[in-house]
Structure 1
Amino acid sequence: MTQRQVLESLSGLLLGMFVSILAGTVVATSLPLIISELKGDQSAYTWVVTSTLLATTVSTPLWGKFADLFNRKLLIQLSLGLFVVGSAAAGFSQDTDMLILFRVFQGLGGGGLAALSQIIMADIISPRDRGKYAGLFGAVMAVGTVGGPLLGGLVTDAFGWRWNFFIALPIAIVAIILLQSTLHLPKQPKRKVHIDYLGAILIASGVSLLLIWVSLAGSQFDWVSVQSLVMVAGSLLLLIAAVIVELKAREPIIPLGMFRNRTFTLSVVASIAVGVSMFGTSVFLAQYMQLARGATPTESGLLTIPMMAGLLISSTVFGGIISRRGKWKAIMVTGAVLTVLGSVLLGTLHYDTNLVLVGVYMAVLGAGLGMLMQNLVLVVQNSIEVKNLGVATSAVTFFRSLGGTIGVSVLGSILGTVVAQRVRENIAALAPADQLSAAKYLGSGVIPQISELPDVLKTVVESAYGTGVGFVFLCAVPLTIVTLIAVIFIPNSPLGTMNAVQLKKQSSAPAAPARDADDASDILIDVSTASVALPAVGLAHPTGSNRVVSPGEPATREGSK
């Protein structure tokens, strides 16, 4: 593909990525209102987010494996189509259960878009040049993340929250058309495909059961309970069985041999914590702005701009620097340090924290994530065998989504516990009449609409959510430290200059013919002790002349250099 064709194809990939990001963020600012109107509680709020992340997480390694087996262009169009159907159906939800169901379909399509866009980019762009384009993906992610909440707030205030699920549909359709007309990939060679169905079922079941446990524990039942024991034990047994199957499968969903690659293993560890920071901030900052600061959905979107601006600027600028200089290690370590610092700063939040300081804290965290997210995928693609490009890329995305899903679930449970405790403490200090009012407005456990509360109860709820969200960010700090340690120990390998299609052609090309005598001087061999018959090979003689060593004739070490 020419440079122009690459850019045209990237436009379709970028639109597909934008659509998947928009689906997750456009409802972020309006979720408190959506859950309130659909009569949901904090558990439903968490599940609306978790269901999409769960579907994305479980499906990502499957999309990655399919990308190594089937037509990647067709796969990404299928994932876009699945996403369109899920989005349209979610807009007609009548209760939280229906909304959660169709968010699952959105997640299945989103998993394909997240993995396949990165895989296809590796097909057409070399690792050295991929930095600046990865910066574009980071920029699109930032625009989708910041534009989604803002657009969602505007649409909710003007037309109602249901339109949040419809606005991405035209963009998805345009992306499908663009990919069809501009993306040109070589056909996969025809061969007998072996799909590891048992491994796929075991992985999906084990991960799903684990995520369902962390979503329900603390709200539906205690963390230490019989239900928890059964679900954790069941998840572990399923995952152990999955490992055994993957070790024996002819074409495993996740080849476990990849974990012998130090870069891959450390990037996976770092991606888990990055997922917690990325998904957690988008969810809990929206709650902070609306429930602790009394902002409308539109205002909430505007107030989160500093974080996304930091992500947008850092991913674009530093992606270009990586492509120009070919050096990535210092940038990623700096990003990890900023992620730790940003989480610590956001851990100091209260309901009355100066909003300028809140903006600075968000910008610091956003800048750190912008230096990390796409570059973790880049270094893995640069170090992994080309035959495992799809599964390796999807594995990093998988563990990032896994970290985000578990993080949102666990942190959401912590937030619910802290908020409930603080609300009870604050209500206990009120006058008897105000306590009766609190029982009326807050007794059901449904997330309230701040604008409808009496002033005295507004302070109660805002104080509880302000303290709770700050505590949640503080709980995420240890994970960001793990990310920093992992990034420090990733080998500082130079970036390659060939894209995946070129590497595949090179690996499948027939062996080069034997060199002439004049070309043999750069080959280092030692045949002084060889006992097998060797063909006549031209070797540089110590005296400077080229002499042919006959089969079976001993050659000195010096003479064979």
Structure 2
Amino acid sequence: MTTPHETEARIPYLGITGLMLGIVLATLDGTIVGTALPTIVGELGGLDHLSWVVTSYLLTTAVATPLWGKIGDLYGRKGSYLASVAVFLLGSVLSGLAQSMGQLIAFRALQGIGAGGLMVGAFALIGVLVAPRDSAKVQSISAAMLPVAFVGGPLLGGLLTDHLDWRWAFYVNVPVGLAALLIVGIGIHVRTERIRARVDWPGALLLTLAILALTLLASWAGTTYAWTSPQILGLAVVSAAALALFVRVERRAEEPVIPPRLFRSRNFALAQLLGFLVGAGMLAAMNYLPQYLQFARGQSSTASGMLLLPLMLGMLVVQLATGRAIGRTGRYRAYPILGGALMTVGALALLTLDVDTPTAVASALTLVIGAGMGFLMQSTLLITMSSADPRDMGAAGGTVTLVRTIGGSLGVAMLGAVFTARLAGADTRLTPAQLKELPTPVREGFAAAVTNGLHGVLLGTAALAALALAASWFVREIPLPTRQGASGDPRRTAPGAAPDTGSEAAPATATSPEAPPSPHRPTADRPAPRPS
């Protein structure tokens, strides 16, 4: 006969693996498309539309993330997670079938709606299924899978584009997603209880309107329309009004998208600002560096993916090292300062790139900015989770992901507009392969224009990083506990987890984009009893 304690101690590794496949999908799609974009936009519609291929996905992901989390809380996490995977797969297939830039942008938006539920749903289910004492075992699975997806994304995107077709950058999601659906459906059993509460639809709609207006303003101001034009001034008014109403609605909502009480903590608010800034700079650099490598340096999609590996590896290694260091010492203030400084220096160093820069040098220079991003990303996650009460662990994790994604959306839009403006007069409907067939003077002129455009993006990234550096100095050092509490003492937390606030919370990890909510807080799901 299996005892209740033994039943609770079992970890459904099969189901957890299925959840990790969903996380891999979200991670992979965030990096795999970058190296395929030069071919995509050249074939379907031009570089002037590149930012919207990325922005439409990020925008809907940002808005959908808290909604999926709340729907899972209220109506069942397993069903919510499976539904998000299905929507993501539908968007992936349609994106691969797109015949115009308008279609691709719309289908990427649909894909983003599904992507919003992949990570938040997976970590919510893990929080229900796995006790805190077993979290290290589950983290070992993510530690093995996420780096492969994170670092291998650009390389895989390049390989698929060069040897098959850019459409396979989207189709590759299908077998992984179907495996996740099957494994989670079979391997996870939870008892769903309907909770009577409301989804904050007014808040979600106002947030969507505000982000969309800000994104359009960032894309059009100074390029498509003058800064003082009625269109830009109208967008500014709409975004300001929507944000003001959003704050008012959130204060009164029964289940707010973003609980306003979280921002009473100075460190939490600063961490969200830092997350916004690093998200903006990171996504802009990662999506426009391949343009330079393929158009100005004549590299293939595969080679441009390999040349981004120093950036990706630098970011990943620093994230892992920072998580361990903070967990060991309980101190974190120095890391966002170091991250802001390195990211600023790295962006300025990349300004030395020219049409004649050796490819190896161009690749190596990305290591510094990648390391800076790693310091900022990991420290902001841990500061966020340590600044929130245990009851708000899920909301805090969702908020940092939401803010970082919003930053990426606005950063790509704003710096994409700078990039496009510097390409004025160039033919933006060329793919890298078509460019190689043109006369040498045309190729050299286009390469110079793309390099000039990248310099504009990097100047903007350096400015964002400098703002992050300045904001980091205001973070207060509140040491975290450095020793695991005794068994049964819910007031002691693991390294990197929330400070002593009276309840146990799951620790944030170096490889997790957000921390899983505590399994001990009220939820809509419970593990189904196993047969004896």
Q: TM-score range by the shorter chain?
A: 0.7 to 0.9
Q: Distance in 2 between matches of 1:485 and 1:126?
A: 39
- Aligned with 1:410 (options 408, 411, 414): 414
Q: Distance in 2 between matches of 1:502 and 1:271?
A: 20
- Aligned with 2:54 (options 32, 46, 49): 49
Q: Is 1:232 the equivalent of 2:246?
A: no
Q: Deviations over 1:110-168 (max 9, x none)?
A: 12224334555566779999799779768855533432222122222222222221112
Q: Which amino acid aligns with 2:352?
A: T
Superposition pairs for residues 167-246 of structure 1, below 5 Å?
167-183=172-188, 190-246=194-250
Q: Is 1:400 the equivalent of 2:404?
A: yes
- Aligned with 2:153 (options 141, 148, 151): 148
Deviation of 1:345 (Å) = 1.5
Q: Deviations over 1:149-195 (max 9, x none)?
A: 2212222222222222111211122223333455566x576542122
Q: Structure 1 181/339 Cα, relative in aligned 2: closer, same or farther at 3 Å?
A: farther
Deviation of 1:6 (Å) = 7.2
Q: Deviations over 1:391-444 (max 9, x none)?
A: 2221111111111111111101101112327x6xxxxxxxxxxxxxxxxxx3xx
Q: Is 1:477 the equivalent of 2:462?
A: yes
In the alignment, what sits opposite 2:500?
none
- Verify the 8 A CA contact 1:56 1:107 in the aligned structure 2: yes
Q: Distance in 2 between matches of 1:405 and 1:244?
A: 24
- Verify the 8 A CA contact 2:129 2:519 in the aligned structure 1: no
Q: Distance in 2 between matches of 1:119 and 1:329?
A: 28
Q: Which amino acid aligns with 1:97?
A: G
Q: Which amino acid aligns with 1:22?
A: L
Deviation of 1:332 (Å) = 4.2
Q: Distance in 2 between matches of 1:335 and 1:10?
A: 32
Provide the TM-score with structure 2 as the length reference.
0.82
Q: Distance in 2 between matches of 1:284 and 1:136?
A: 32
Deviation of 1:318 (Å) = 3.5
Q: Which amino acid aligns with 1:90?
A: S
In the alignment, what sits opposite 1:430?
none
- Aligned with 1:86 (options 88, 91, 94): 91
Q: Distance in 2 between matches of 1:153 and 1:502?
A: 36
Q: Distance in 1 between matches of 2:32 and 2:167?
A: 11
Superposition pairs for residues 512-527 of structure 1, below 5 Å?
none
In the alignment, what sits opposite 1:97?
102
In the alignment, what sits opposite 1:247?
251
Deviation of 1:468 (Å) = 2.1
Q: Is 1:446 the equivalent of 2:451?
A: no
Q: Aligned pairs, how many? A: 485
Q: Which amino acid aligns with 1:112?
A: G
Q: Is 1:309 the equivalent of 2:292?
A: no
In the alignment, what sits opposite 2:170?
165
- Aligned with 2:450 (options 447, 462, 465): 465
- Verify the 8 A CA contact 1:135 1:315 in the aligned structure 2: no
Q: Structure 1 505/149 Cα, relative in aligned 2: closer, same or farther at 3 Å?
A: closer
Q: Which amino acid aligns with 2:457?
A: V
Q: Distance in 2 between matches of 1:506 and 1:42?
A: 48
Deviation of 1:275 (Å) = 0.5
Deviation of 1:199 (Å) = 1.9
Deviation of 1:51 (Å) = 0.9
Q: Structure 1 466/506 Cα, relative in aligned 2: closer, same or farther at 3 Å?
A: closer
Q: Distance in 2 between matches of 1:470 and 1:477?
A: 10
Unaligned ranges ≥5, structure 1 = 424-441, 509-561
Deviation of 1:42 (Å) = 2.5
Q: Is 1:75 the equivalent of 2:80?
A: yes
- Aligned with 1:115 (options 108, 114, 120): 120
In the alignment, what sits opposite 1:31?
37
Q: Which amino acid aligns with 2:46?
A: D
Q: Is 1:5 the equivalent of 2:5?
A: no
In the alignment, what sits opposite 1:379?
383
Q: Structure 1 382/458 Cα, relative in aligned 2: closer, same or farther at 3 Å?
A: same
Percent of aligned pairs with the same residue?
34
Unaligned ranges ≥5, structure 2 = 1-6, 482-492, 495-503, 507-515, 524-532
- Tell me how large the CA RMSD over aligned residues is: 3.1
Q: Distance in 2 between matches of 1:76 and 1:104?
A: 18
Q: Distance in 2 between matches of 1:363 and 1:2?
A: 44
Q: Distance in 2 between matches of 1:27 and 1:117?
A: 23
Deviation of 1:270 (Å) = 0.5
- The more displaced of 215-224 and 298-307 is 215-224
In the alignment, what sits opposite 1:364?
368
Q: Which amino acid aligns with 1:166?
A: Y
Q: Which amino acid aligns with 1:75?
A: S
Deviation of 1:4 (Å) = 7.0
Q: Structure 1 141/43 Cα, relative in aligned 2: closer, same or farther at 3 Å?
A: farther
- Verify the 8 A CA contact 1:139 1:312 in the aligned structure 2: no
Provide the TM-score with structure 1 as the length reference.
0.78
Q: Distance in 2 between matches of 1:267 and 1:290?
A: 35
Q: Which amino acid aligns with 2:439?
A: P
Q: Distance in 1 between matches of 2:395 and 2:355?
A: 44
Deviation of 1:370 (Å) = 2.4
3-state DSSP of counterpart to 1:419: coil
Q: Which amino acid aligns with 1:212?
A: L
Deviation of 1:483 (Å) = 2.2
Deviation of 1:83 (Å) = 0.6
Q: Which amino acid aligns with 2:448?
A: S
Q: Structure 1 383/176 Cα, relative in aligned 2: closer, same or farther at 3 Å?
A: farther
Q: Which amino acid aligns with 2:49?
A: A
Q: Structure 1 502/67 Cα, relative in aligned 2: closer, same or farther at 3 Å?
A: closer
In the alignment, what sits opposite 1:537?
none
- Verify the 8 A CA contact 2:162 2:301 in the aligned structure 1: yes
- The more displaced of 5-14 and 142-151 is 5-14
Q: Distance in 2 between matches of 1:188 and 1:65?
A: 14
Q: Distance in 2 between matches of 1:379 and 1:8?
A: 32
Q: Structure 1 363/503 Cα, relative in aligned 2: closer, same or farther at 3 Å?
A: closer
- For the pair shown, the structure with the greater C-alpha radius of gyration is 1
Q: Deviations over 1:63-116 (max 9, x none)?
A: 233344342333222211111111011111111111111111111111222433
Q: Deviations over 1:184-219 (max 9, x none)?
A: 66x576542122222222222222222233233444
Q: Distance in 1 between matches of 2:466 and 2:147?
A: 23
Q: Distance in 2 between matches of 1:273 and 1:3?
A: 41
Deviation of 1:381 (Å) = 2.4
- Aligned with 2:69 (options 64, 67, 71): 64
